[in-house]
Copies of this chain bind each other. A is one copy, B any other.
Amino acid sequence: MAQDKRQVDAITARDTDFAQWYTDVCKKAELIDYSSVKGMFIYRPYGYAIWENIQAELDRRFKETGHENVYLPVLIPESLLQKEKDHISGFAPECAWITLGGSEKLEDPLCVRPTSETLFCEHYANIIHSWRDLPKLYNQWCSVLRWEKTSRPFLRHREFLWQEGHTMHATAQEAIEETERMLEIYADVCENVLAMPVVKGVKTDKEKFAGAERTYTIECMMHDHKALQSGTSHYFGDGFAKAFGISFANKENKQQTPFETSWGVSTRIIGGIIMTHGDDNGLVLPPRIAPTQAVVIPVVQHKPGVLEAASALRNRLAQAGIRAKMDDSDNSPGWKFAEYEMKGVPLRVEIGPKDMEKAQCVIARRDTGEKIFVPLDQLEETAARLLDEVHDSLYAMALRNLQENTFDIKTVEEAKAIAGGKGGFLRSKWCGSLECELAMKEQAGVTSRCMPLEQSGQEGVCPVCGKTCATDIYWGVAY
């Protein structure tokens, strides 16, 4: 019992201190640990397994849409990084530099990649010659380094894991279609795998990626009503390609410059999962990426036959394609209940002597706490159905949070009042000027999140300058 309390008490309530709650969950659910290098984290087995499951979902979709994985060097020469001006000015302050290799001082210092546009462009310049070589649809799974001043688990690391897609196309139209296709894949994974509803949109010029012509984004709302940018997809036009001298002979044998995209999702999305679904008892994992979808716990496990029965249930679940484990350790059932609750395992399956007499087991849902008595011969179908129900219910709850905390505002004062109060997404018209965008930040404390793809088309007024305009835009406080 002392142990049970320790587990549960260790987590701060969300309403008391959401930031502390978040750090507690990351640490106590053993997702992540600090290392001796400032700002760099250790992805522990449970956290890494979540990432592996997200990777598998994304990677399958990338391959189904014709993408191929590659691996390019982790180091970028300073001279290469400087070839595209907007890009280097965006990333230079965050680069970590290698100046010594072995005992040799390097003449051209090498940067640990903060992102790989420059490396891909250099490679593409070598391998793209003809229209037959296009499109090139490459993706890379790797880690990147950004020398941030502050850090938080998953949300801001000096080193984080991600995927970066980099593609080249014969026409601007094809490249724009690719950029949008990848945004749709990200939205699909967010909503249908991670149970996180998204707002899809386009970033303002101020917020777009360094060197991009247009940046698409998916924005998610966290439990505390702040925004998390959860994936971005960039259209580069032919800017990088020109800077790197990439060209191809078209079907008429004329030289042409190709058009480029890049797109990425990182382990930051795990922070989003935690802050979207977690509760005061800890983590709540969306079933489709939960490393353990069902944990089987034998009750009164020293009684004859109980361990065997529990083990049989685990095996049947695994056989049915459900990621299941049994905990037959000598910890008390109460300790185990608290432990797997904290770790966010979607379903807990209990079986004891009394259940065995009745040829049943008990399944408890992590999201609602509801307990269901399940005849043993209906185990697999019930578990599979419940996993889908948990997904649907997590999604519905997150969608309600998003909808109930998105507000149409007409003035800066309204924006300020909400942003300074319970927070939320603020939807308004925008005249398109940088001045008004900066004024919103200055006066209301919010930044632009995106111009949503779904535009109402109706006219209104910009809350800052009062000009009549038609563009819808979302504002918010972001992680």
- Stretch in contact with the other chain, from A88-96, A210-218, A295-303: A88-96
- Output the least CB separation between A166 and chain B (Å): 12
Residue A356 interfacial (CB < 8 Å): no
Partner of A42, one of B71, B76, B96, B97: B71
Residue A397 interfacial (CB < 8 Å): no
- Output the least CB separation between A44 and chain B (Å): 6
Residue A253 interfacial (CB < 8 Å): no
- Docked pose: A232 CA to B99 CA in angstroms: 31
In the complex, residue of chain B having the shortest beta-carbon distance to the beta carbon of A291: B68
Query: Cβ of B75 and Cβ of A37 under 8 Å apart?
Result: yes
Query: Cβ of B102 and Cβ of A99 under 8 Å apart?
Result: no
**What B residues does A73 contact at CB under 8 A?**
35, 37, 40-42, 159
Query: Cβ of B69 and Cβ of A42 under 8 Å apart?
Result: no
Partner of A35, one of B40, B72, B96: B72
**What B residues does A42 contact at CB under 8 A?**
70-73, 123
**What B residues does A102 contact at CB under 8 A?**
93-96, 147, 149
A 431-450 binary contact with B (CB < 8 Å = 1; else 0): 00000000000000000000
Query: Cβ of A49 and Cβ of B68 under 8 Å apart?
Result: yes
- Output the least CB separation between A43 and chain B (Å): 4
- Output the least CB separation between A445 and chain B (Å): 26
Residue A100 interfacial (CB < 8 Å): yes
Residue A36 interfacial (CB < 8 Å): yes
**What B residues does A189 contact at CB under 8 A?**
none
> Interface range on chain A: under 10, 10 to 19, 20 to 34, or 35 or more?
35 or more
Query: Cβ of A71 and Cβ of B43 under 8 Å apart?
Result: yes
**What B residues does A138 contact at CB under 8 A?**
45
Residue A249 interfacial (CB < 8 Å): no
Within 8 A of B (CB), among A110-131: 110, 112, 119, 122-123, 126-127
- Output the least CB separation between A186 and chain B (Å): 22
A 43-73 binary contact with B (CB < 8 Å = 1; else 0): 1110011011000000000000000111111
Query: Cβ of B143 and Cβ of A74 under 8 Å apart?
Result: yes
- Output the least CB separation between A195 and chain B (Å): 24
Query: Cβ of B36 and Cβ of A75 under 8 Å apart?
Result: no
A40-B73, A49-B69, A98-B112 known; A35 vs B147 contact (CB < 8 Å): no
Q: Sample 9 A-B pairs with CB under 8 A, ordered by A number.
A: A35-B119, A36-B122, A37-B76, A37-B77, A40-B73, A40-B75, A48-B71, A74-B74, A75-B159
